[in-house]
Amino acid sequence: MNTVLCLLRYPWRTLTALGNVYRVSAHHHLDKKDVARELDAAIHAQLSHTLVTLGSDALAALRALLQAENLAMPRTDFITRFGCLHPYRPWDPDAPLAPWPDPLSPAATLAYYGLVYPLNQGSTERPFSVILLPEDLCHAIVEHLDITVTLSTPPLEPPTAPARAVDANMFAFLSFLNRRDYLARHGRWLPPRALKCSISTLLHPMTWAQAAVSSNPPASRSSTTWPSGPD
C-alpha cells in the first residue's frame, strides 16, 4: 500500500494534524484526494531531511517494519516496543492539544511525520490493527539505514512437504463461522438456525436427518461443535 492510499484511510482530524506538520491545508471542506496527494508530495519532498532528524529508537522502528512481513506489524507489538501513538483527539480535554510538535514516543514521531500508519487490515466486525510502512517510502529509508532488505516474495520452489488441501465443504463451513457470531449452546453446540444456514453453503448439502446423526456422535468418538439438530 502506498502513502496516498494510507492517507485516504485516515479521518480528517488526523489529516489535519499531518497538515500542521507539513504546512499543507487539510480541512474537511476540501477534496480528500487532493489533500492526500499534497501531503504525499510534502512527505516525499522532506523525507531525506526527516530521516536525518530521527533518533535511534525511531530508526530502529523503521528497521523493524522493513523486516516485517508485508511491511506491517500488529499494533500491540509495535507500541509495546516503540511507545504509544498519542493520536490527535481535539474533543478530549485530557489528550495533548497538539501532539505533533513534540511527540512523546518513537511511534508517535513516525506517525506524525507520515512515515507509518495505524490501519485496520481486517473488517469492522473482526478488526486487525497494524502499523504499516508505505511501500513507496521504503527505498529512501533503506538507503538511509544502509541495510539490505528482502521484501516478502513467493518462494521460487514449492515446500518439500506442502500442507494438505482443506476439504471444500470444511472450508465453506469454517468460512461461514468466520463471518457469523453464534452463541454456543452448553459451551459446545451451535444453535439449529446456524446449522440450517450453514448447510446452504455446502457443495453437497446434508439432510436434517444426516445433520442430527452428525450432531450426536457415539461416545467413543471425539466431540464436535455441530449442533444437536433443529428444534
Share of the chain above pLDDT 70, in %: 70
Contact status, residue 105 vs residue 83, Cβ threshold 8 Å? yes
pLDDT at residue 133 greater than cutoff 90:
yes
Contact status, residue 131 vs residue 73, Cβ threshold 8 Å? yes
Stronger pLDDT, 157 or 120, i.e. the higher one: 120
Query: What are the tens digits of pLDDT across the range 139-186?
Result: 999 999 876 554 444 444 444 545 555 566 777 777 777 766 667 777
Under the banding of pLDDT at 50, 70 and 90, the label for residue 99 is low
Judged by average pLDDT, the poorest of 81-90, 116-125, 131-140, 166-175 is 166-175
Note the pLDDT of residue 203: 57
Q: Which three cell numbers stand for residue 10?
A: 485516515
Block residue for cell numbers 532488505: 149
Block residue for cell numbers 482530524: 13
- CB-count exposure of residue 220 (10 Å: 0-12, 13-18, 19+): exposed
Under the banding of pLDDT at 50, 70 and 90, the label for residue 98 is low
Q: What is the pTM of this model?
A: 0.60
pLDDT at residue 210 greater than cutoff 60:
no
Query: What are the tens digits of pLDDT across the range 25-38?
Result: 988 889 999 999 99
Share of the chain above pLDDT 90, in %: 41
Q: Which three cell numbers stand for residue 217?
A: 456422535
Rounded to 10 degrees, what is the CA torsion of 14, 20, 24, 29? 50
Judged by average pLDDT, the poorest of 55-64, 67-76, 151-160, 202-211 is 151-160
Q: How far apart are CA 109 and CA 21, in angstroms?
A: 11
Note the pLDDT of residue 148: 53
